[in-house]
Structure 1
């Protein structure tokens, strides 16, 4: 069995190498919806033996997944590099609580997202671009509640930092 540090290192490498996630949500009636979104991974702390993980993305308020997370913040996320050969790849399955990032908490997450966006060839972002009446895209976050690493024929629960 892999130790906690090796498992979390594998998960971190996957998050650093992958730019898209699939977000699974449900509306207030329970109808499911899946969306593929560009994301940035944020680890507010960096412990060696566990993940402290928040996934960030930009979205319009009227998008189905945005409406769904506001109605039901419980969601699931899958991260997988689809360029891996069949039967060889690793992936992550995440149980999350998702929602709009509140204004008083927006500065650190939007800085993380902006840095990742610029590194990926995208635009810089700041508070003024993601909130207020003129903002088209808004900042959403998913806090990971449980995480599983898939690969090598196994599904292993990853250690999380409590907090």
Structure 2
């Protein structure tokens, strides 16, 4: 019996997931506070792809936020998040999208140089400004956050298919 990763369709699924990550600039982040009260927010993000595989998705999502924002405060209490990425201009019933379950937190100091460089490159490519470690490191506000993907799903044609992770 072959695993899902041996399925030739996985190349197509992973390629479509990469395309959706590159085609879109905003994600919807679902958080909850310590008591479980939900909150969602939309943030501009970059997909930080540390390696690019045709058979597995190897990505972390990075965004800029203020630590006092409700979703950021929620992350300090409950780092488990749900994330959706989709193009909301797609016709009804035809759209592709991604859903993720992830662990989110402030970017750790050891990764801050690389994460700031990745975020800055994406920001400049999208017409925004540059970002440096000094601009996103404590005590500066805003700060960089990272979502480490635990599971990923590709949505389309009324289906939901799990995308293999690296």
Deviations 1:96-119 (A, max 9, x none): 000001112111111111000001
Which residue of the partner structure matches residue 87 of structure 1? 93
Answering whether residue 13 of structure 2 is matched by residue 7 of structure 1, we say yes
1:107-126 superposed matches below 5 A: 107-126=113-132
Deviations 1:2-44 (A, max 9, x none): 6111100001101101000000000011110000000000111
CA displacement at 1:86 relative to structure 2: 1.0
Off by >2 Å, runs of 4+ in structure 1: none
CA displacement at 1:153 relative to structure 2: 1.6
Out of 55, 61, 64, the position equivalent to 2:67 is 61
User: TM-score by structure 1 length?
Assistant: 0.95
User: TM-score by structure 2 length?
Assistant: 0.94
Which residue of the partner structure matches residue 111 of structure 2? 105
**CA–CA distance in structure 2, aligned partners of residues 31 and 127 of structure 1:** 33
Which residue of the partner structure matches residue 45 of structure 1? 51
Gaps of 5+ in 1: none
Out of 18, 22, 26, the position equivalent to 2:24 is 18
**Pairs aligned (count):** 160
